[in-house]
Chain A
Amino acid sequence: MHDLRRHGLVHYALKRGGSIHPITLPIELTGETGIMNPSIFVHNGKILLNVRHVNYTLYHSEGKKFPHIWGPLQYIHPENEVLLATHNVLCELDSNMQMLSAGRIKMNLDTGAPTWTFHGLEDGRLFSWDDRLFLCGVRRDAYDDKGKGRMEMCEVEFIDGEWQEIGRHPIPAPGDNGSYCEKNWMPITDMPWHFVKWCNPTQVVKYDDVTRTTETAILDESKLYSMKRDLRGGTQVVPIGEGRHLCLTHEVDLLKDAFGRKDGHYNHRVIVWDKDWNIVHNTEDFHFMGTQVDPTTGYEYNIEFATGMAFLEGNVLISFGYQDNGTFILKMPEAVFFDFVGRA
């Protein structure tokens, strides 16, 4: 397992029959800026992948030898455009993870002017409930001018040769809905309208699309497990049999360089719940593509984010973003994956 720490899960998987698949999008769609946080989902036999395209390119000097003039971790967007814009590109892949088609989702319900500088639906997880295809992420440009964020379900359908938004479902936070920003809720793919809002302690919420309210369905604050860091949402939550569910979460170390400038490191972890939403297993934290380690502090510096996973024909497919700039799909034989989950 030492390979996992040193070289990452992708290296681990490739040595055991897995494969890694780079996803690229044409320059006409991206202008060469970041494509990230992809969410894979198998819908009616089709392998779909939502890719978040942003108007920036992350500059991250992991080794700190060549930081940007503003610091080692910087979001480089156009100098005349102080906004962080997100578009979503929906792709169809074949079973070899080769691109069959890709097109930007037409957001038909973008009617009013954005109220904040983060535009678009961010980090959308792709899933279907009742055979309706949804992308659920956080939107921060519709609530106030201070960046208030709420999860939104965007219903999409392929119409007239393009992916189009046909419905938008803003989801209030449970309780008084007074929080500043809700993000990274994980849809439970076999439980319509349910999300894992928080992992530790596990909070499952249910959104009622008729009353447009959200209620907590599961929460036992006494079940707080000892973890290195908070577990933040990652992929969809998928059933793995016997009422159990599994997902990948992410964790963040917010770091500073010698001059106090921001830096960061992301880890991931696999979480397994039993039928009663008790966390019955969690792996060690890991990263995907390897990282650089500061030899004096032991700190690692890498930014990755897995926002999609699916089981298909004896394999698990995990889609993740690398440094906010790249998109990959890791394909692992199920047996290898569960062996890893069991060992790690």
Chain B
Amino acid sequence: MNCENVIHELSDFIDGDLNAALKQELESHLRNCEDCRLVVDQTKKTIEIFCDSEPVELPSEVRTRLHDALRSKFKEAAH
């Protein structure tokens, strides 16, 4: 497996979707290739950072409009 193959299999490797043989080949390449190790680690970190980012509070005027619309919907459904 070369560096180009690693990049093509990167997502499946990160998601744990690679079959055992390919995973072993890729891990063997990573042991000897610092550049690919960086790409794999940093791509994992990128996903982790986005995944862990907390959504900000809803702007109060947006929230008010949403809940007003919901209350109208509830009333409409009740009749």
Chain B associates with chain A = no
